[in-house]
Chain A
């Protein structure tokens, strides 16, 4: 027997699935097809590898979603991941080892998030231009720290994060749990309130700046730790490795039903979107298509998912 509060909570959660049915269905069909074509994927080891391939996209999709829910956007995701990988690979050589690296990444994520948040939440400058400019700053800093791939991530860490263990899957479960928890706090609900009706939220006593600021800081931290994960996968830092992730993050979020105007969408949609893209790219890879074809596909996915409802809307008005 559920209490009154739990009933309310789960009813609200269930409502957030609205509009995502089609996506979940497509995802199920794709996953089933993929498993039918490559039955090997169902083995534990192969599955772990698959999740590891998906993990960075899922992380940045989550990072992008948090910001987009407040009505913002982040165009510096890719360079931030690169910088994270570079920072991870250059600090873990230091005396504090892995611990020092994690501290450095926390500082990086919080610092960069606070800078973007300062401009967007307090200065109220448009997020597009702030994050675009910032993307160049971050790329530059990454290149200054490490002009070419290098550095060092302890093999034990690589093995732990991206080896034969299902660590990535567990981390995803942790991510979802923490997100659920955050969304149950006033700040977390504030994300949607601010994205929906910032003026109204302000009048209701929501501290709009704090909500936005926390969103950017959390987002930047997720991106920085995606950098660590990517570095662990390759065993070294790379100042350009994150580049494709900016668009992948936006594509996954948009595919998952997260709106550009804020307030609309749910994390589960963005994660499903990133999973769908991950499967698509895997299939393309097995079909022998060059890796760069994924750019084309991602671009088309974005345009198609944003354009389709608009076209449908104008057709409905026409009929």
Chain B
């Protein structure tokens, strides 16, 4: 290609939330006709950087430049006019509007102040053809399955004829055929001279078709170089800053033969016909692509959504103490279950309240008929804070904490109840490496104490290195239950994609 032409650029931008620095002096250049990968762990600051580049947030310091010209305070509207389009993980669609109205939103073709439906229909038809969008443009977006909504979201980004296209994990909820369409399209856009920033956790995708990479770690750029000459391990080393194997404590099983939970034909929400048993001291992993019933399985087990089974048993000291699923969360708590949600800001923590109050919440909820006693509460919160190494003033509101510390609070609050079964939903999402290690060690320690742990994770290495067994979901069913020795990343991914691997496949076929 001819002259290197930078379209969008961030020059040493910094950003902090509630006093926590998220980006430190980050610079990135998006060049016409190049597919640029942005890599980093969850919580490394990728989303924040995207928000700065697209005008959704403003940097605390540093500058955003378009065509080499600094833009004082970029707004999303200006970004649109400048041809910067973003496809976010969190969809920006309005479910009650039609596909066409969503695609045109924010930049409708107009005639005399009124939306020109003729031109809108033509534009939608053109983009629709490119993206193989088969649904009728008048369909309300709320009617579409998640994967198809993602395609509409991409169509919407393309409708402004962008010069810069930022794709934030566009493939995370897409099925294989949709991914192929997308890849083809992104290459075509590159050839047209569009600058593309591509964020993905799928390293193979990145190695496949990106040309340049910027790596973020804890808010700073650790690498900014062409991709040529890098392999997956090299990429991981750049992201993590150490060999991936050192992250996990050495594997050791504490699983005993004593069952704590058992179910046959368990169904809840999108999870159907799950047979499983759980043992004292065991770490049971749950894997699969996002949205294949794993979360519903956990929520159903926890009594948060309605569940049915053919057979259900909860054991205490070897004797069956319950034979129906839990009707509500309080029931599950009373039986020794605890659940740590993936989205700690919306589901795990009372953000405006103190660490202390958050730590006490499950205890208060399950033993509510008591008066409060300051000394007793201080002793409890001190002990809980120690168990997961939560430092500092515990009267701080939890919204002032870093992601890692928030996660520690969301986890340790349950230890006040001494639960026998811990359900963890992606506990290391958006957590820094040090905290990850602490959480892994804590899980090991809890298993060693005889607690049973169910670990749902979107991070396959966690399943490989931590779990005694891994149940892999596909389309709501358990596609495979892999013992530790057979649970390689390849085996888990194959089972998640519904690829039949005869020797390890257990239970009913899909």
Contact = CB atoms under 8 A, between A and B. Distances in A.
Interface of A: 3-9, 11-12, 14-15, 18, 181, 184-186, 189-190, 192-193, 195-197, 199-207, 263-264, 317-318
A265 to B, nearest CB: 8
B412 interface: no
B121 interface: yes
B86 A197 contact: no
Interface in B51-104: 54, 56, 76-77, 79-80, 86, 88, 90-98, 100-101
B348 interface: no
A119 to B, nearest CB: 22
Given A5-B120, A8-B117, A203 B93 contact: no
B113 A206 contact: no
B119 A193 contact: no
B234 interface: no
Interface in B252-274: none
Nearest to B141: A196
26 contacts: A4-B118, A4-B125, A5-B119, A8-B124, A8-B137, A11-B137, A12-B98, A12-B138, A14-B138, A15-B140, A18-B140, A184-B114, A185-B113, A189-B108, A189-B115, A193-B97, A193-B101, A196-B93, A196-B96, A196-B97, A197-B92, A199-B92, A203-B76, A205-B77, A206-B106, A263-B95
B136 interface: yes
Contact of B115 (A11, A184, A203): A184
A311 B113 CA distance: 43
A193 B76 CA distance: 16
A136 B124 CA distance: 48
A264 B97 CA distance: 9
B132 interface: no
Contact of A202 (B76, B93, B114, B115): B76
Contact of B95 (A6, A11, A197, A202): A197
A207 B119 contact: no
A199 B76 CA distance: 11
B138 A15 contact: yes
A291 B139 CA distance: 44
B310 interface: no
A43 B58 CA distance: 65
B292 interface: no
A308 B105 CA distance: 34
Contact of B121 (A8, A181, A203): A8
A203 B92 contact: yes
Interface string B4-41: 00000000000000000000000000000000000000
Interface in B110-158: 110, 113-122, 124-125, 136-140, 156
Nearest to B91: A200
A318 to B, nearest CB: 7
A3 B101 contact: no
A317 to B, nearest CB: 5
Contacts of B88: 203
Given A8-B137, A205-B80, A207-B77, A196 B121 contact: no
Given A189-B105, A201-B92, A204-B76, A8 B138 contact: yes
Contacts of B137: 8, 11
B92 A5 contact: no
B107 interface: yes
A184 B109 CA distance: 11
A204 B101 CA distance: 12
B484 interface: no
B94 A263 contact: yes
A194 B113 CA distance: 19
Contacts of B313: none
A4 B95 contact: no
B100 A12 contact: yes
Nearest to B108: A186
A192 B120 contact: no
A214 B54 CA distance: 26
A170 B413 CA distance: 64
Contacts of A203: 54, 56, 76, 86, 88, 92
Contacts of A200: 90-94
Contact of B98 (A3, A7, A15, A195): A15
A1 to B, nearest CB: 14
The 9 closest A-B pairs by CB, nearest first: A5-B118, A200-B92, A205-B106, A5-B117, A196-B94, A11-B138, A204-B106, A205-B80, A193-B94
B96 A3 contact: no
B163 to A, nearest CB: 15
Given A15-B98, A204-B92, 17 more contacts: A5-B116, A5-B117, A5-B119, A184-B115, A185-B115, A189-B97, A192-B94, A193-B94, A195-B94, A197-B95, A201-B106, A202-B76, A204-B80, A204-B106, A205-B77, A205-B105, A207-B77
A7 B121 contact: yes
B306 interface: yes
Contacts of A189: 97, 101, 105, 108, 115
